[in-house]
Amino acid sequence: MPVETYLAANPGQTADRYQLTVIQEGDHWTSTLARVDDAGVASSAKVAPRFYGLTEEQARRKMLTTLENQYEDVRLIRES
């Protein structure tokens, strides 16, 4: 799965960028989320716990739900 960068914002606040990575680990998938600076560099500190899924999409959706629960507007801005 490509690494995805999201822009997350609430009305009247500065938008934040996050990098979502999903990798396969044996018989399951793991998703991680890191804050991204203005230069596009991901922080080494993760901002959410790892989420696990039986499928790639399940692990991805679990992490996106975390962002969607914290921000009103969450948009994919880049895949790499």
Do 75 and 18 form a contact (C-beta atoms < 8 A)? Answer: no
The tally of domains found in the chain comes to 1
Full-model pTM: 0.89
pLDDT tens across the length of the chain (80 residues): 679 999 999 999 999 999 999 999 999 999 999 999 988 898 988 788 899 999 999 999 999 999 999 999 999 999 88
How far apart CA 11 and CA 17 sit, in angstroms, is 15
Q: In a 3-state reduction of DSSP, which class is residue 19?
A: strand
In this structure, what DSSP letter does residue 80 have?
A: -
CB atoms within 10 A of CB 25: 10
Which amino acid makes up residue 2?
Answer: P
Q: In a 3-state reduction of DSSP, which class is residue 77?
A: strand
User: Which residue range forms the structural domain that includes residue 47?
Assistant: 4-79
Which pLDDT score is estimated for 44? 86
Do 6 and 18 form a contact (C-beta atoms < 8 A)? Answer: yes
